[in-house]
Homo-oligomer: A and B are copies of this chain.
Amino acid sequence: MTPFSEMTENNVEDPSKEHFLYSILNPKSLCFFGANNNLLKTMGSFQLWNIISEGFKGNIYPIHLREERVLGFKAYKTVLDLPEIPDLAMIVIPTRYIPEVMEECGQKGIKQLIITSGGFREIGPEGKKFSQQIDEIAGKYNMRFIGPNCLGVYNGWYQPENDKNKLNTFWVYKLPERGTISIASQSGTVASHLFWYAEDIGTKIGQSISLGNSNNIDIVDCLEYFKNDPHTDVLGLYIEEIKRGKEFISIAKEITPKKPIVAIYAGGTEAAFRAIGSHTGSIAGNDTIYETVFKETGIISTTSVTNFLHYLRVLSHGIFPKGNRIGIISDSGGASAMMAKSTERYGLQVPEFSNKLQSEISRVLTDISYPNNPVDLTFNLNQYNLYIKVPKLLMKSGEIDGIMIYGAFGVDEFIEVMEKSGFDTDFFSELGTSMSGVYLKPIQKLSRKYSIPIFYVGPQGYSDPWIREFIALNMPIFDLWDLPAKCMKILCQYSQYRQKFV
């Protein structure tokens, strides 16, 4: 599959640039309310400092009544004094001062804002008053704002030609490698804290929007923007409440045939409603309503944040199976038995191979290996068989639509232990450095050619150097054998949905 990004980038016109979210994600200049020079005491200072250190290259105007300079930048007493109209105002100050500051932004002609501060409808009647007030001011000046009660935005595509410079208004987080996954979330935590695990497993998030209370800009706006955004191939949503149901359904239906959407709905139980009420002040509905909406619109839903990240990851690789017949290859009987069981339980098939295919497999394996599905290589330690020869036979046979392989071992730990004992490790070391080119790239090429996804599973953690090779190449790798079957099911399910629209 050609990534959608590539298809769109060739067009001269990029309709997403006309959307107001484009200016928020790609401001040329910004002013900042609520930062000073003390990182330890104020959240705003940390956010501005993060914007600076992550590589924002536009003009920065801190607004501060007393400071001459804030974090190295000239400070202004009021936004009205600024030498230009900034594309974005970021507001992280006590709630009661926000209406006044917004008025000034409106007078200055600023059209886009991010309001990080909380203390609005989520805290009850008094907050509700403030909430209405900021809505009215935004209406009066025709301003659009994200929040309140949010962390703002992360844009890894702030400079498309340079993935080092980002716009990041969040706190300090480990950033994932840039990819074409975009997140819109009513939880700042889901928008940002997931970055650690995402980076670990190779879920390459390019953009993330923390919507907070969604007073003005909501999840439908994000869908409208990401629909045409050339840097978005897959969307992830965290939902506490959908206010514009009709619009949500309509835009989601337009997107899912081209770009998969994975959604978490957090409401549905009593204590979850309390949590959501105190969180963003949303009025959550029951699970059934949301499940119906997700089903109708082709959205993939999950209640697990781990699955959320794994689904986004495998969907973003863009290799979709044509059916649901899965071939399993393993050097471990236990792992393959468990993978076979979970695959079948998720409604996929693990079909027996034809005699022809079995004898082809037998020809490359040793006596005590098992050539039927799941293929068991047992003590056949020829890695070339595991990575290339057997998978290739399966792909060419036309008998399977997806492959799962257990036993993707890196040799670094062996080398380390052997070196300690004075053994010669040249053989292993050479193997280690050449394996990515010899094993992974050729099989990935075939996987794309046949449109047969291949999932690798190795018992070592995601930090193992060999496992990082898979992640660098966007090849699906898992540390244990529970999730592959789940993820394969999602790929099959989405692929089937997508085929209806071809």
Contacts and interface: CB of A to CB of B under 8 A. Distances in A.
Interface stretch (A98-106, A251-259, A391-399, A410-418): A410-418
A337 B460 contact: no
A367 B459 contact: no
A337 B39 contact: no
B197 A340 contact: no
Interface of A: 39-40, 43, 49, 53, 118-119, 122-123, 172-174, 185-190, 193-197, 200, 238, 240, 264, 266-272, 274-276, 278-280, 303-307, 328, 332-338, 340-345, 350, 352, 367-368, 370, 372-374, 376, 378-379, 406, 413-414, 417-418, 420-421, 423, 427, 459-461, 463, 479-483
Contact of A337 (B279, B342, B406): B279
Given A267-B341, A272-B340, A306-B480, 10 more contacts: A40-B427, A193-B332, A266-B341, A271-B343, A271-B344, A271-B350, A272-B337, A272-B338, A275-B376, A306-B483
B337 A118 contact: no
B275 A336 contact: yes
A279 B338 contact: no
A275 B187 contact: no
B461 A196 contact: yes
Nearest to A335: B189
Contacts of A333: 187, 189, 275-276, 278-280
Given A270-B350, A332-B189, A461-B197, A264 B372 contact: no
A310 to B, nearest CB: 11
Contacts of A306: 480, 482-483
Contact of A123 (B186, B341, B367, B483): B367
Q: Which of A123, A268, A276, A337 has the most CB atoms of chain B within a 10 A radius of its CB?
A: A337
Given A240-B337, A414-B172, A379 B271 contact: no
A214 to B, nearest CB: 13
Contacts of A379: 43, 118
A296 B195 CA distance: 43
Nearest to A187: B334
A459 B414 contact: no
Contacts of A373: 271, 274
A185 B280 CA distance: 48
A372 B461 contact: no
B332 A188 contact: yes
Given A39-B423, A272-B341, A368-B119, A334 B266 contact: yes
Contact of A344 (B189, B270, B276, B338): B270
A53 B416 CA distance: 13
Contacts of A190: 334-335
Contact of A334 (B238, B343, B418): B238
Contact of A305 (B118, B267, B338, B350): B338
Contact of A418 (B39, B238, B370, B423): B39
22 contacts: A40-B427, A43-B379, A49-B421, A172-B413, A185-B334, A186-B334, A188-B332, A194-B459, A195-B459, A240-B337, A266-B337, A267-B341, A269-B341, A271-B343, A274-B340, A275-B340, A275-B374, A276-B333, A303-B338, A304-B482, A305-B338, A307-B482
A319 to B, nearest CB: 23
B187 A335 contact: yes
A381 B268 CA distance: 29
A189 B480 CA distance: 11
Nearest to A411: B172
A378 B423 contact: no
Nearest to A49: B421
A305 B267 CA distance: 28
A278 B193 contact: no
Contacts of A374: 271, 274-275
Contact of A197 (B238, B266, B352, B480): B480
B118 A278 contact: no
A196 to B, nearest CB: 5
A80 to B, nearest CB: 29
Contacts of A280: 333
